Structure 1
Amino acid sequence: MILAEKIILSLFFGGVFMLLLQLLDALLLKPRRRRLKLQKQGIRGPIPSLMCGNIAELKRIQLQKRPTGGSVEENQFGGRSVVEHAWTSAVFPHIEQWRREYGPTFMYSTGNIQILCITDPGMVKEISLRTSLSLGKPSYLSTERGTLLGRGILSSNGPYWDNQRKIIAPEFYLERGFVTLMAESTSTMLKTWESKAENWGGKVEIRVDEDLRSLSADIISRSCFGSNYAEGEKIFSKLQTLQMVMSRGNIGIPGLRYLPNRHNREIWRLEKEIDSTILELVERRSGDTCDKDLLQLILSAAKSYGDNGNLPADITPNKFIVDNCKNIYFAGHETTAISASWCLMLLAAHPEWQARARAEVLEICGLRLPAADTLRSLKTLTMVILETLRLYPPVAYVVREALQDVILKGIHIPKGVNIQIPIPVLHRDPDLWHSDVHQFNPERFAGGIAGACKISQAYMPFGLGSRTCAGQHFAMTELKVILSLILSKFSFSLSPAYQHSPVFRLLIQPEHGVNLHFEKL
């Protein structure tokens, strides 16, 4: 009996010891080995602390340089104009500082996540042309950001991601009356603006980012889920709150997301409420016999994958549905609304471009609702949108993880290293975009992206390579519809209440909103 107890105790303590060794290797030794491999190839960076990496130094640098975002001055048209857009050093000062100290490719750590930050355009081009599955989305997107993204199309990898993209991507490219629906939703919003303007003598001040969020929510909900904004309101508002809460947290610190502190409890509560609301919507739609929209396709795919046993072992049909619905809501709602807000701000700040874009809209579309074929003819408006996405891309980083050892531009990158490409930095490289890189100049896109940038792959508001946003076509169409209708009905300028302060909260957005003065035409 005593011998048996000793054997059991030995096995128990042996198991605990092996577990501790595995934890030590995963949390400390592996990241250190990856870092040393990069150091031996001349890649440098700030020295990380044991558990938190460079998070403390990163925060210290950010606190030393609070965002200012550019200057606002009077222009020759009598309005206020944002004349400089050099905000990246204020919002991402750690990248600017470490880039100066260590070169265009450097490394740093957040917790036990080793990051290789790349601002070398040649290496970015090489990444974009890589078609193998050796580079994928980082694992922290489905763990640290799992409550927001889960393992949907934005965060999954391999065959599972490929299957999701085959379901979702074609839906955004097919013409299913989206343009008409977008125009009708936008017209409804503009009627409220016109009513407000009439009550104030033809002029009114509006905080457009709030209304555009509601509009974008209505469009994505009706286009892809066959419901109106009222049914999706809970999902949109809670996802926005979840995004704000998660932007205040740190990624990579081992075990931090499991602690039952106030921050995590709020995240868990929101996750539970969002998931249950989506499943309620799914339950109401499960018996629908209407035309197949995106939700119906996701429901059918979940059932098919579940019946055939093709889902990963840790993915239930309900999780497949919830994760992809959250991904589409998040990507299709918030990013488009923010981009439309920045577009209106820039057109308000540059009346000459506003006049050019309006003249084109009135010539091509007249006062009718835009149609798919007329949108393709709006060249000036397209240039304005492309330049806005260059100066204010809603997504700050392209991120990848080396799923196996890879070689990029002669650098051997070990498996497990996270690759980070700061989009705003590449969008402001004077060697790629010429000396007016901080100026709003849509004319640079007159010859398309290839004519605007020396290395076209360095323009990446919708991502890079095979993981380019599946909803890119849908988003560009939505932006053209919204902007063309606003331009046809109103002239607008910056309000004195407008404060130009871009801020990074998982997305690059206006910290204090976008206040504009509108006047009915």
Structure 2
Amino acid sequence: MEEWQFWCLSVGVVGALCFLVHHVYNIMWFRSERLRRKLCVQGIKGPSPSFMYGNLPEMQKIQAKALSSAPDNADIVAHDYTSSLFPYFVQWRKDFGPIYTYSTGTRQHLYVNQAELVKEMNQCISLGLGKPSYITKRLAPMLGGGILRSNGLVWAQQRKIIAPEFFMDKVKVMVGLMVESMQPVVRQWEGSIEVQGGVTADIRVDEDLRGFTADVIARACFGSSFSKGKQIFSKLRKLQTLISGQSFLFGVPGYGLLSIKKQNKIYGLEKEIESLIWETVKERESKCKEACSLEKDLLHLILEGALNDQSLGKDASKRFIVDNCKNIYFAGHESTAVAASWCLMLLALHPEWQSRVRAEVAQVCGDNLPDADSVSRLKTVTMVIQEALRLYPPAAFVSREALEEIQLGNLTIPKGICLWTLIPTLHRDIEIWGSDANEFKPERFIDGVSKACKYPQAYIPFGVGPRLCLGRNLAMVQLKIVLTLIISKFTFSLSPKYRHSPAYRMIVEPGSGVHILIQNI
């Protein structure tokens, strides 16, 4: 009898839980449906969602078909990787145009790839347009509550403290340090040529470039803490690999859930990174007390800003410091290293632009190393970088969530809608860039971004609006240093080992690295 009662009780509990989950999910799904209808009455169409899971089954089906039909080595010349990485967006754009809505079950999304509406997003300064909460939740172990994840007044407070440290006048001071950080890479490549016979060396450049950008961030922003910085960068890279994947774009229970083993690894890495950062903070704080005249780096300024803010308690100050250090460590080097790798891949395909850059560097710098003045006069180098960022922007998306109802142009965006702009699609739109939109043509930027295309607001490698990337000046100068020093020393072409396989791992990076054949000039 007791066993029968226990069995009945168990069945009842399970049944009640199933009913509760089903009821709650129904409410969430119908909320998504209501948002969809509000968009539909404004003329916005999209694929028909299924019950509970919205358009997720269709997305997975389209993705599977794209993977099964993908060639072993993608067409490098075409440069368009969106059809393999995000085929559902490509398909729906063909079906419904540059603005459409789709659902991931509990979330309703608005896809925006129309230049005029992107312009409206650029001009929107409302704190009601923030980062999607369901995505930033997935990224919490990596970014904490720092500026890349926060919204509203918290975000505004963080930006006020951090943004001034990345203004161009501060970045120019770092040029000498950047040159010093790049010199070991150049010497290493020269040594590789010698070891591999003295004529040509086959080198995978992306890891070396990660080392360079990591060195710059650690030295320029965090003073003498590079030994711990290297450990932090390494662990952040492992954490990125564990977290990344397209599933984090979906935001639906049951899709992309991580195993307990993987969750434990993520938690462990998160705690190790936070511990290393806090040790770095305490060391820096101690040095500042010992030497009041010590030049203030970014870490010191974040420390001061947090400790002097009366709205933050002791625990909140520590969290503020650690989280924003995590943001700067990751965003400050990973995206720039990836952008530099894509630049070298494109220049390896186009030796004529190597020659043009080399001639400009010789004219501007002569026999001297680049400095703050000469870097600002490298027009051809700038054009090459701008074109590389057009074809291969490390950030694939601009993503926003309407935290309150907002108006964008003629559209009313209901609270709860997530907006997505697929940057590489916007950067390749023939109506915006012309019939050569998929070609590498840096000369299109000869008169700057404003004359490069029909709608300048469609060029968004660093994002849009008030949340424009804080480190864009730092990134551009680092990229100029990389290209200037490499091209003045070497000629290079793509290695037979190179496999063109762009991969989406929170950013779009070379999936199998970038292998080049280099020679001394």
Task: Give the TM-score normalised by the residue count of structure 1.
Answer: 0.89
Query: How far did 1:260 drift?
Result: 6.2
Q: SS at 2:329's partner residue?
A: helix
For the 8 Å contact 1:258–1:264, the answer to whether it is kept is no
- The superposition leaves residues 86-112 of structure 1 with CA deviations (integer Å, 9 ceiling, x where unpaired) of 222122111110111222111122342
How far apart in 1 are the matches of 2:230 and 2:461?
27
How far apart in 2 are the matches of 1:95 and 1:465?
23
How far apart in 2 are the matches of 1:235 and 1:328?
11
Instruction: Decide which of 154, 158, 161 is 1:160's aligned counterpart.
Output: 154
How far apart in 1 are the matches of 2:71 and 2:386?
24
- The superposition leaves residues 315-361 of structure 1 with CA deviations (integer Å, 9 ceiling, x where unpaired) of 72222112111111111111000000000111110010111011101
Alignment pair present for 1:239 and 2:240? no
Query: How far did 1:45 drift?
Result: 2.1
What is residue 309 of structure 1 aligned with on the other side?
311
Shift of the 257–492 alpha-carbon distance from structure 1 to 2, 3 Å rule, reads closer
Shift of the 47–269 alpha-carbon distance from structure 1 to 2, 3 Å rule, reads farther
Q: SS at 2:401's partner residue?
A: strand
Deviates more, 1:510-519 or 1:403-412: 403-412
Shift of the 452–496 alpha-carbon distance from structure 1 to 2, 3 Å rule, reads same
Taking the TM superposition and a 5 Å limit, the aligned residue runs for 1:368-387 are: 368-387=368-387
Query: How far did 1:372 drift?
Result: 0.7
What is residue 432 of structure 2 aligned with on the other side?
432
Deviates more, 1:452-461 or 1:260-269: 260-269
Q: SS at 2:421's partner residue?
A: strand
Unmatched 5+ stretches in structure 1: 1-15, 73-81
| Aligned amino acid, residue 238 of structure 1 | K
What is residue 113 of structure 1 aligned with on the other side?
107
Query: How far did 1:479 drift?
Result: 0.5
Shift of the 26–309 alpha-carbon distance from structure 1 to 2, 3 Å rule, reads farther
| Aligned amino acid, residue 120 of structure 1 | Q
| Aligned amino acid, residue 196 of structure 1 | S
Alignment pair present for 1:480 and 2:484? no
Deviates more, 1:94-103 or 1:26-35: 26-35
Taking the TM superposition and a 5 Å limit, the aligned residue runs for 1:322-361 are: 322-361=322-361
Q: SS at 1:288's partner residue?
A: helix
How far apart in 2 are the matches of 1:268 and 1:189?
33
Q: SS at 1:205's partner residue?
A: strand
Query: How far did 1:123 drift?
Result: 0.8
How far apart in 2 are the matches of 1:54 and 1:71?
27
Shift of the 121–219 alpha-carbon distance from structure 1 to 2, 3 Å rule, reads same
- The superposition leaves residues 60-104 of structure 1 with CA deviations (integer Å, 9 ceiling, x where unpaired) of 2112113559866xxxxxxxxx43212221221111101112221
Q: SS at 2:202's partner residue?
A: strand
Shift of the 243–488 alpha-carbon distance from structure 1 to 2, 3 Å rule, reads same
Q: Which runs of 4+ in 1 moved over 4 A?
A: 19-26, 67-72, 255-260
Q: SS at 2:504's partner residue?
A: strand
| Aligned amino acid, residue 170 of structure 2 | E
How far apart in 1 are the matches of 2:259 and 2:182?
43
Q: SS at 1:415's partner residue?
A: coil
Alignment pair present for 1:295 and 2:299? yes
Unmatched 5+ stretches in structure 2: 1-16, 289-293
| Aligned amino acid, residue 351 of structure 1 | P
For the 8 Å contact 1:69–1:500, the answer to whether it is kept is no
Instruction: Decide which of 217, 221, 228 is 2:218's aligned counterpart.
Output: 221
Shift of the 152–488 alpha-carbon distance from structure 1 to 2, 3 Å rule, reads same
Query: How far did 1:39 drift?
Result: 2.1
- The superposition leaves residues 9-52 of structure 1 with CA deviations (integer Å, 9 ceiling, x where unpaired) of xxxxxxx9xx9899558633322221221122222222334444
What is residue 460 of structure 2 aligned with on the other side?
460
- The superposition leaves residues 222-250 of structure 1 with CA deviations (integer Å, 9 ceiling, x where unpaired) of 11111354321221112112112212343
How far apart in 2 are the matches of 1:387 and 1:108?
31
How far apart in 2 are the matches of 1:38 and 1:266?
41
Alignment pair present for 1:198 and 2:194? yes
Alignment pair present for 1:520 and 2:520? yes
What is residue 275 of structure 2 aligned with on the other side?
276
Q: SS at 2:488's partner residue?
A: helix
What is residue 10 of structure 1 aligned with on the other side?
none
How far apart in 1 are the matches of 2:111 and 2:333?
28
For the 8 Å contact 1:70–1:83, the answer to whether it is kept is no
For the 8 Å contact 1:141–1:149, the answer to whether it is kept is no
How far apart in 1 are the matches of 2:423 and 2:257?
31
Alignment pair present for 1:189 and 2:180? no
| Aligned amino acid, residue 174 of structure 2 | F
Taking the TM superposition and a 5 Å limit, the aligned residue runs for 1:98-137 are: 98-137=92-131
Query: How far did 1:486 drift?
Result: 0.6
Deviates more, 1:113-122 or 1:393-402: 113-122
| Aligned amino acid, residue 132 of structure 1 | S
Q: SS at 1:407's partner residue?
A: strand
How far apart in 2 are the matches of 1:355 and 1:68?
32
Query: How far did 1:148 drift?
Result: 1.8
How far apart in 2 are the matches of 1:147 and 1:22?
30
Query: CA RMSD for the aligned pairs?
Result: 2.5
How far apart in 2 are the matches of 1:51 and 1:296?
49
- The superposition leaves residues 188-233 of structure 1 with CA deviations (integer Å, 9 ceiling, x where unpaired) of 2111111121222132111000110111111111111113543212
* Identical amino acids, percent of aligned pairs: 49
Alignment pair present for 1:286 and 2:282? no
Q: SS at 2:210's partner residue?
A: helix
How far apart in 1 are the matches of 2:138 and 2:128?
22
For the 8 Å contact 2:274–2:322, the answer to whether it is kept is yes
Query: How far did 1:140 drift?
Result: 2.3
How far apart in 1 are the matches of 2:271 and 2:379?
45
What is residue 35 of structure 1 aligned with on the other side?
36
For the 8 Å contact 1:303–1:317, the answer to whether it is kept is yes
Count of paired positions = 493
Deviates more, 1:493-502 or 1:404-413: 404-413
How far apart in 2 are the matches of 1:373 and 1:475?
17
Shift of the 268–109 alpha-carbon distance from structure 1 to 2, 3 Å rule, reads farther
How far apart in 1 are the matches of 2:300 and 2:135?
26
Deviates more, 1:19-28 or 1:261-270: 19-28
How far apart in 1 are the matches of 2:519 and 2:233?
30
What is residue 400 of structure 1 aligned with on the other side?
400
How far apart in 2 are the matches of 1:259 and 1:61?
23
Shift of the 259–511 alpha-carbon distance from structure 1 to 2, 3 Å rule, reads closer
Q: SS at 1:198's partner residue?
A: helix
Query: How far did 1:186 drift?
Result: 0.2
| Aligned amino acid, residue 298 of structure 2 | L
Shift of the 68–321 alpha-carbon distance from structure 1 to 2, 3 Å rule, reads farther
- The superposition leaves residues 444-469 of structure 1 with CA deviations (integer Å, 9 ceiling, x where unpaired) of 00010010021111100001111111
How far apart in 1 are the matches of 2:128 and 2:300?
32
